[in-house]
Amino acid sequence: MSEKLYSDDIVTLEAREAALYLKGAPGFDNASDLATAGIDWLKGYDGPQVSFNLCGVSRTSSATISVLLEWLRAAQSKKLEVDRITLSDSMRELIEMAELGDVFPAHETSFASAEET
């Protein structure tokens, strides 16, 4: 069962089972709303683990990484185990360029194409 948490013309955020799914082209115009929607869902979530799937992100920026970091902080403050973070190729490239690989532990982070979502 899927719950739409946020949607506009270019981006969609959904919660399915124990995961947040972000698709589209998030940017600075909607980053705050996306972060808030994800954090609100995490606050109400009562499971032990959560995953973040950003395979469907077609265009990324530092705003997208900021959203993900906000979700990670919210999960950590609620003592949720982050089971998996799945990133699109464009996010992988930005994370590597910014040398942020240590922020996303390898045992939880994988890279996949949008077709795998």
CATH of the domain at 60: 3.30.750.24
**In the prediction, which pLDDT does 105 show?**
61
In this structure, is residue 91 part of a structural domain? Answer: yes
What are the pLDDT digits (tens) for 14-70?
A: 999 999 999 999 999 999 999 999 999 999 999 999 999 999 999 888 999 999 999
Cα–Cα distance for residue pair 72/66, rounded to 1 Å? 10
* C-alpha to C-alpha distance for 63 and 116, rounded to whole angstroms: 23
pLDDT in the model for residue 107: 45
3-state helix, strand, coil in the chain (%, to 5): 40, 30, 30
- 86, 55 contact by CB (below 8 A): yes
pLDDT higher than 60, residue 116:
no
Displacement of CA 14 from its chain's centroid (Å): 10
Q: How far apart are CA 76 and CA 89, in angstroms?
A: 25
- Asked whether residue 117 is domain-assigned, the answer is no
Task: Please give the pLDDT value at position 32.
Answer: 98
The verdict on residue 33 lying in a domain is: yes
The tally of domains found in the chain comes to 1
Tell me, yes or no, if the pTM score tops 0.75: yes
Q: How confident is the model at residue 1 (pLDDT cuts 50, 70, 90)?
A: confident
Q: What is the pLDDT of residues 65-111, one digit of tens each?
A: 999 999 999 999 999 999 999 988 888 888 888 888 777 764 456 65
Q: Between the CA atoms of 33, 86, 65 and 13, what dihedral angle is there, to the nearest 10 degrees?
A: -10
Q: Determine, yes or no, domain membership for 98.
A: yes
Domain range for 36: 2-112
Q: Is the pLDDT of residue 117 over 50?
A: no
In a domain, 71, yes or no: yes
